[in-house]
Amino acid sequence: MLSFNGGIPSTVSGYVVGSQNSIAADLTMASFAYTAGMASVLPLTLRLQQFSAKKTLLCLIFPVLIFLNFLYTVTDQPLAMVMISFTIGFIKMIATLIVVISLIPILMPRGERYQLYCIYYPLSLVFGPVSGFLSAIIADHWGWKFGLHTQNLFLFTGLLIIVFLVHPNRQSKKVPLYGYDWLGTVLYSITLILCCYVFAYGVTEDWFNSVKVKLASAGAIISGMLFIRQSLAVRRPLMNFNFLKQWKPMLGVSILGMFCLFFSTSALISPFLNVVFRNNPVESAQINTYVIPGYLTGTTLCFLYYRKFTRFNTMAAVCCASYLLSNLLMYRLTSVYTAPGDLFLPMFLRAMATVIAYISVGIYVTSNISYVLINDITLLIITMRSLFAPAIGTAFYSNMIYGGTVRYTDKLAANMDSLSPFVAARNASLFYNVKTQATLLAIRDVYGLLILVGFVMLAFLIVFPFHGSDKRVVFDWKKPFYGKEVAQSIPV
């Protein structure tokens, strides 16, 4: 039920922009704010479930989510939409972790992390395109706001299940919230929101030629420095930076940072689909469902591999090779003559690589790491993978596409003779055709760059000795101590 509640899906952005007092950058900012809320709440979730019974928390969270979805339908102010999105992400992550922690005996029957990841990740990833496709169909027939009412219907059904079927008793001793780093959470959230503003509005506001972007950048730096100072001053900070001394987690984070360049390639696919399929949200959303078989196939490969082996190099190389092949195919298919079925294989390979990267990096980073550091490294990974990867990637790719489109438009227009009868006869559609061709050429250039980066990364992953641990970390989830440790690493 929670998986279908993700704010305003990107597949209905065209409908929202057309009916609201907003631009595309406003919806991008709302999407980033939703992810920022999810990234800020992990440590608080672990404390809340020790403070109150899970049923009590869920019975409070679901009505709040229903109310926030209703607010979406009655506001047309970008700032309100951004704050609602942040709050939804913040609250939804609490509920999601509470539910998943309760299901650990099912998701992790033998106490090995690969079992948990091979169930958690495909479920969390598959519901995204399914929800987006259903939202696009609903928006096309009845309007995008009706899709939010549909989300509320799912949430209300989940609330009934909680009320009648979830056990109300507390499973551990009550721990007060005194001592939690509230100021650190606020500073961390402010830093993420301001960074999101820079990346969301950079292209629209012409980057640092805009006073707003300059102020947001300065605010992000100041709040980030205050957050670091707060973390070094308090006894139990939101993020303890001692994990920076561990070489293995930092190596895993560095590899994740390289993969982040590929995680955000949806910023290339979306404009490509808009150009080729003439802004048809339903068809674009249907094409995005091609990733579902890729998620399932990648999960199956990881499950079979990690049952017998623990080496990180092999799956990392498979992941990079899949991304590389996907980009090679997209480079060839960047044309107005591309049919929807032609996109199945590159979308399949991209999805397979994404889920392999999620699972493999999670297993590599959390193996043989101290229980004390898991919370901190998890918070960093969530922020990088779920927030900064799409935010920085979207800003980078959008800037390259915009610059390439302008450059190719000038080049194509320079080769035209305004006195030509052919040009005069097509005057009405000429600008659209030139812009379409220029956009596709710009997208193809970006894919060419990604292909070069992919070859370099693949060579590095094959040659570099990662020294993966041969020891399997097994947890007894029946003991509260180990159950909390596994719970901290769920979102890795």
436 contacts 336 by C-beta, under 8 angstroms: yes
Q: Which of 140, 165, 180 is the last residue of a domain?
A: 180
Residue keyed to tokens 């989940």:
158
Residues 359 and 432 in one domain: yes
Residues 173 and 279 in one domain: no
Give this prediction's pTM: 0.84
366 contacts 374 by C-beta, under 8 angstroms: yes
Q: Is 213 a domain residue?
A: no
From CA 214, how far away is CA 198, in angstroms rounded? 8
Q: Is 226 a domain residue?
A: no
From CA 355, how far away is CA 347, in angstroms rounded? 13
Range of the domain at 444: 242-492
Residues 487 and 407 in one domain: yes
C-alpha dihedral sign at 13, 17, 20, 25:
positive
Q: Is 106 a domain residue?
A: yes
Mean pLDDT by 10 residues, the chain (492 residues): 68 65 74 83 74 78 87 80 86 82 69 76 83 82 79 84 74 66 86 88 80 89 89 80 74 78 82 78 84 91 84 86 92 85 90 89 74 73 80 83 84 64 55 79 90 90 68 49 49 51
Q: Is 319 a domain residue?
A: yes
Residues 173 and 269 in one domain: no
61 contacts 94 by C-beta, under 8 angstroms: yes
From CA 479, how far away is CA 188, in angstroms rounded? 32
Residues 452 and 320 in one domain: yes
Q: Is 334 a domain residue?
A: yes
Q: Is 144 a domain residue?
A: yes
Q: Is 453 a domain residue?
A: yes
Residues 168 and 287 in one domain: no
Sequence-ordered list of residues with C-beta below 8 angstroms from that of 157, at least 6 positions apart, any chain: 1
Exposed/middle/buried for residue 72 (C-beta within 10 Å: 0-12, 13-18, 19+): buried
CATH code assigned at 105:
1.20.1250.20
Q: Which of 180, 198, 227 is the last residue of a domain?
A: 180
Residues 400 and 254 in one domain: yes
Structural element, H or E, at residue 363: helix 344-366
Q: Which of 160, 180, 200 is the last residue of a domain?
A: 180
User: How many distinct structural domains can be found in the chain?
Assistant: 2
Q: Is 235 a domain residue?
A: no
What's the token pair of residue 175? 């721990």
